[in-house]
Amino acid sequence: MTIVDFILPHVTSFSLVLARIGGIFLFAPALGSPIIPARIKGLIVVALTFVVYPSVAATPIAGPVDLISLAPMMLGETLIGLSIGLIVAIPVMSVQMGGLLIGQQMGLGLGTVYNPAIDADGDVIGQVLFYLALAIFMAIGGLELIHIAVMRTFEHVPLGAFTTGQAPLELLTGVVASGYALAIRVAAPVLCIIMLETISTGVLMKTVPQLNVLTFGFPIKIIAASTMLIAALPFIDQAVRGETIAVIDSVFLWIRGL
């Protein structure tokens, strides 16, 4: 028996496991970052597949396998990892959205910078809050929980059995809605103080027209908003932790229901 005869029966199963694990590297926080070179991502995916495959090698593939049926199977396997990574990434993206709202109201919207972690532009406040949310995600063991979630899928979904009808569309819709709410919660303290500053400045401009409000109004807005943002950081941390944990729990509930 040659080595080719030994390897050939495992090629299909290995490819399906590789596709399922590789799906999380498309959108998952940190793992899906364009900063990581594609070759490094590929090596990590292959290494993880070699680690995981022995535990699922005995799992039978659902249905016959040929070149025609292998493509939709690979797509379904990729969709599993992609769904998990995308859903878990939404809270982190939502925090950056809250930072964008803050930056626009502070007058920093024109100072956009490139965020290589998501391959998109953002302002300074959005950048700071994004990396804060990413640090919180890493601190609560988000990466480990993502890999555990993918491993749990092998217990509930045989290789090649996942279909597009099982995609968590309702879960994704709910997480997106809660993500918008999280963005508002993150931005609310600063937006409130900016509103109070704007009202106070407007009243001052009407009562004392000799003052040039534009001269000192903009610095006061930035100082007040920055101070409130620093004071609100513990509450932002609590909100992001709670939302991230709730989303990860929802992912595990979806996996159990497959």
Domain that holds residue 44: 3-256
Q: How long a stretch of residues is the chain?
A: 258
What's the confidence (pLDDT) of residue 58? 64
Low-confidence winner among 9-18, 85-94, 186-195 (lowest mean pLDDT)? 9-18
Q: Is the pLDDT of residue 198 over 80?
A: yes
Distance of alpha carbon 231 from alpha carbon 229, whole angstroms = 5
pLDDT digits (tens, 9 = 90+) for 219-237: 888 888 889 999 999 999 9
Per DSSP, the three-state class of 227 is helix
* 158 CA to centre of own chain: 26
% pLDDT > 70, the chain: 85
Low-confidence winner among 95-99, 143-147, 195-199, 206-210 (lowest mean pLDDT)? 206-210
The average confidence (pLDDT) of the chain is 83
Total domains, the chain? 1
**DSSP3 helix / strand / coil % (the chain, rounded to 5):** 80, 0, 20
49 phi and psi, to 5 degrees?
-65, -40
DSSP string, 230-248: HHHHHHHHHHHHHHHHHHH
Mean pLDDT throughout 28-50?
86
pLDDT digits (tens, 9 = 90+) for 142-162: 889 999 999 888 888 888 778
